[in-house]
């Protein structure tokens, strides 16, 4: 209802339309008694003359009310959907990295699509039914009280019992509703994984496993949907039996009281109309619980705390120096990924982090743009704690080329000039592409820089995708450059050209490099060897090679592997 509030005028008009719909139905039933008495019993010519006009008028008014209700609630419902999707999407853009580590992408997509759509149905469809049926019950009871308050009081015996049954069943509906949301998220996740990894599925014969997993998810969803319907019908049947007992008692007492046929018909029609009304209300309450389960899922995202952006200072500098001071970090209170790391990086210095997988290289570098925050210790940039800067100003000074290249379903031009660089001139974009050794293959594309790259650049090779990402970083021209395996997907010839471009780009620019291929980092100013979250060695390539240790062992191991590959090719 909080999200309905901005549209309360249309919502009120829709409720008014519902009241007109329900009121005219009850009024028509109330009018049966005088119609039977005057038009049929007394054969009054005036009543007979205006009877068709009265019936057509009543149904016209009811149709108008029904239109107002359906249109109004649907209009409000779709507005709420748009607002919620915008809010959830905006929230996705501000949530910390840890949130994405804990949630599957399929589940997050499902909340944007299925769950919010369920909420829309709750407003546009179910709300119409609930308000209409509740008002109908009130109006029907009003007619019944008008003709016989004593008989009408008997009907109140059944309503408290029905209320207790509904309250008891609601908990089951909510629990099943949550299960349905989870099953939809699982289905979405499975489909997304298969679509993205279809080559791996085919090569490694994973079709049967994926199909089995999908069938299990679909069957779970089917079973839960059946449980919802079964519970609905059981509740509806019990309620109908209670109503049947009440009706039989009322009819018995009406017959003994000497009530006229006309009055009994006007009493009996709304009484009978209560049966489908209560049945409809009972059924929609189950759907509302499913809607509430979807709302719980969506609200859980909106209630998440965004990234901790408490900084007040604005970083504005053409150079960046970094000082890691006894930095420690762990994921979810597990084993420490980093342990008391102290390291100074001067402005314009290039530093490469090497070591075995799991040593903490990426974790340490990810702390600089504050994708994660340190647990203990601190990171200082230009003499201030990194947490004192606003996230926007901090990240404005950073360009990133990751091992997992992200390209958008857009043109080459828009992928290079992405975000804040979208206003860059074409000659700047072309220059960045040329520096990244990408211009030649871009010009050979069907529409050059206007070629759409498809989903995550599927139309390009791995090396081409990575060069687009490098061009994006070159165009940003930030004082701090982060290269996470930036040349890992390039062939030898492209790597040579890219390495030359990166070396030019790294001049007078603070650069943090993560690399497994040690041949690409021999000319950096400083090498930092990490082992199990600790600094094991620091120095230049020359000094570290001249002393026994992890770095020399890694160089020897990679050199031996390279010679084996070369010999095999020959």
Do 292 and 174 form a contact (C-beta atoms < 8 A)? yes
- What residues are paired with 452 via a beta bridge? 411
3-state DSSP assignment of residue 172: helix
Please list, residue by residue across 195-226, b when 16 or more beta carbons sit within 10 angstroms of its beta carbon and e when fewer do. Answer: eeeeeebeeeebeeebeebeeebeebbeebee
Q: What's the rounded Cα separation, in Å, for the pair 417 and 411?
A: 10
The sign of the torsion formed by the CA atoms of 377, 379, 385, 389 equals negative
Query: If you ran DSSP here, which 8-state letter would residue 341 be given?
Result: E
Nearest alpha carbon to residue 212 among 228, 194, 197, 226: 194
Count of CB atoms situated within 10 Å of the CB of 171 = 10
CATH class of the domain defined by 311-397+482-488+510-570: alpha beta
CB 298 within 8 A of CB 88: yes
| Angle, CA of 273, 251 and 23, to the nearest 5° | 25
Residue intervals in the chain for CATH 3.40.50.300: 311-397+482-488+510-570, 400-477
Q: What is the predicted pLDDT for the residue at 569? A: 46
User: What's the CATH architecture for 400-477?
Assistant: 3-Layer(aba) Sandwich (3.40)
Q: What is the pLDDT of residue 243?
A: 73
Residues of the chain with CATH 1.20.1560.10: 5-302
**Res 563: pLDDT:** 46
Ranges under pLDDT 70 in the chain: 123-124, 155-160, 162-164, 166-167, 170-171, 174, 196-200, 202-205, 275, 279, 282-283, 286, 333-334, 486-498, 500-501, 504, 517, 519-520, 558-570
Q: What is the model's pTM?
A: 0.72
Q: At what angle do helices 261-302 and 127-147 cross, to 10 degrees?
A: 150
What does CATH list as the number for 5-302?
A: 1.20.1560.10
Torsion of CA 461, 465, 467, 472, to 10 degrees: 160
As a whole number, the mean pLDDT across the chain is 82
Percentage of the residues of the chain whose pLDDT score is greater than 70: 88
């Amino acid at each position: 209802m909080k999200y309905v509030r901005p549209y309360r005028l249309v919502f009120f008009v829709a409720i008014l339309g519902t009241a007109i719909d329900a009121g005219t139905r009850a009024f028509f039933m109330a009018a049966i008694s005088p119609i039977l008495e005057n038009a049929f019993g007394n054969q009054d010519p005036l009543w007979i003359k205006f009877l068709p006009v009265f019936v057509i008028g009543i149904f016209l008014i009811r149709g108008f009310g029904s239109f107002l209700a359906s249109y109004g609630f649907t209009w409000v419902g779709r507005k709420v959907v748009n607002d919620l999707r915008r809010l959830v999407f905006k929230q996705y853009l501000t949530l910390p990295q840890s949130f994405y580590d804990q949630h599957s992408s399929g589940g997050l997509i499902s909340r944007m699509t299925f769950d919010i759509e369920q909420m829309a149905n709750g407003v546009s469809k179910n709300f119409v039914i609930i308000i209409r049926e509740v008002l109908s019950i009130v109006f029907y009871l009003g007619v019944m009280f008008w003709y016989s308050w004593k008989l009408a009081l008997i009907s109140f015996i059944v309503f408290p019992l029905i209320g207790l049954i509904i309250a008891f069943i609601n908990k089951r509906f909510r629990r099943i509703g949550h299960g349905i949301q989870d099953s939809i998220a699982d289905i979405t996740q499975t489909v997304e994984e298969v679509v993205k990894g279809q080559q791996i599925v085919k090569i490694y014969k994973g079709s049967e496993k994926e199909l089995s997993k999908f069938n299990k998810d679909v069957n779970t969803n089917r079973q839960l949907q059946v449980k919802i319907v079964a519970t609905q019908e059981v509740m509806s049947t019990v309620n109908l039996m209670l109503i049947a007992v009440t009706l039989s008692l009322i009819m018995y007492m009406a017959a003994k009281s000497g009530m006229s046929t006309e009055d009994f018909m006007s009493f009996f029609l709304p009484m009978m109309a209560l049966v489908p009304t209560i049945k409809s209300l009972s059924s929609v309450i189950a759907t509302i619980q499913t809607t509430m389960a979807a709302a719980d899922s969506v609200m859980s995202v909106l209630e998440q705390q965004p990234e901790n952006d408490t900084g007040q200072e604005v970083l504005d500098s053409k150079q960046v120096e970094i000082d890691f001071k006894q930095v420690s970090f762990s994921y979810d209170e597990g084993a420490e990924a980093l342990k008391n790391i102290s390291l100074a990086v001067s402005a314009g210095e290039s530093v490469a982090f090497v070591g075995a997988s799991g040593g903490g290289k990426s974790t340490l570098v990810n702390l600089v743009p504050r994708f994660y925050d340190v647990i203990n210790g601190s990171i200082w940039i230009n003499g201030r704690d990194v947490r004192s800067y606003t996230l926007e100003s901090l990240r404005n000074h950073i360009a990133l080329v990751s091992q997992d290249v992200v390209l958008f379903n857009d043109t080459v031009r828009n992928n290079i000039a992405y975000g804040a660089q979208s206003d860059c001139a074409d000659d700047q974009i072309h220059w960045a592409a040329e520096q990244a050794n990408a211009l030649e293959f871009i010009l050979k594309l069907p529409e050059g820089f206007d070629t759409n790259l498809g989903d995550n650049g599927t139309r390009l090779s791995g090396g081409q995708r990575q060069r687009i990402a490098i061009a994006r970083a070159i165009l940003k021209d930030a004082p701090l450059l982060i290269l996470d395996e930036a040349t890992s997907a390039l062939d030898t010839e492209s790597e040579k050209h890219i390495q030359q471009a990166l070396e030019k780009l790294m001049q007078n620019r603070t650069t943090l490099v993560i690399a497994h291929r040690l041949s690409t980092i021999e000319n950096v100013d400083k090498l930092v060897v990490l082992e199990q979250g600790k600094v094991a060695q620091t120095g230049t390539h020359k000094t570290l090679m001249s002393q026994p240790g992890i770095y020399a062992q890694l160089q020897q191991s990679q050199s031996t592997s390279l010679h084996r590959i070369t010999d095999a090719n020959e």
